[in-house]
Structure 1
Amino acid sequence: MCTSAPRPAYCSPSSTPQRTACPTCSPCRPPQPLILLGVAALLPGPDGSWTSGLLSSLILAAGYLTLFLISRGFGFGDVKLALVLGAVLGWYGWPIVLIGTFAAYLLGALYGIGLLVAGRAGRDTRIPFGPFLLAGALAGMLLGALT
């Protein structure tokens, strides 16, 4: 029988994307990347690879961890989210990982440029990158399911 452990304060029920990247929020469930890989296995499209899913997960997380350590622009939530989304995108193969990652940066850049042009942000304004990671991963998954 599963006993529920106290949850950390940052695991609120209202933060769905953060709950996806927070395996400590549900101590009795399998790790979230494995659940998302299972969901990706049910989606129509090419047969995926667990190996490429796990490798791309580790590579994306290592890349975002490096960015987190050397810059002040990325938060640790981006690192955790990249770990999960790398697994899902890697299921469809390496080209989809690159497309999903590029789409996230492209959407974030377009949003930032739009804010700069509108005068609503400056060069030092912090913009959350998590929504763009999710949108880029969605674009990559949709493309992966279609090809």
Structure 2
Amino acid sequence: MSRGDFLMVCLGNICRSPVVAEVVRQRFAAAGRRVVVESCGTGGWHVGHGADARMCAAARAAGYDLSAHRARQLHIDDFQRFERVFAMDRANLRDLTAACPPTLRDRLALFLPAAGLGGADEVPDPYYGSDEDFRRVIALAECGADGLLRLTPA
């Protein structure tokens, strides 16, 4: 995998993509690696809102601070700005593929497989789930961030 800036994408940008972005930022920083990591949603329902309170609580318990996060929607310029655009699930990847200029589609990937994780290929949406579902997303984010770190040249 090449070195570059990462964009994490989910549906509303209030649960999965903000926490994955924060975990990746922290893991890369702890390894002394500089990388820009942002997040956005394919939908615009939550633009300007903070992360979901349940995700904030789960993230805080795991050592991640999402208090500064403000949701934003995907913009066409994002495909040019970010070297890698990671979708949290197949539906997000379909939406990204439809919006992305054909010459930049090689930048798109599902996050977990791109991070070298076998097994689960999607980060499940915890929005309608339990507290355990939010903790599961954080665990997947941590595994994925570690895999991305291993696969990204210094």
TM-score (norm 2): 0.30
Select the structure that is richer in strand: 2
- Bigger CA radius of gyration: 1
The structure whose RCO (Cα within 8 Å, separation 6+) is larger is: 2
Select the structure that is richer in helix: 1
TM-score (norm 1): 0.31
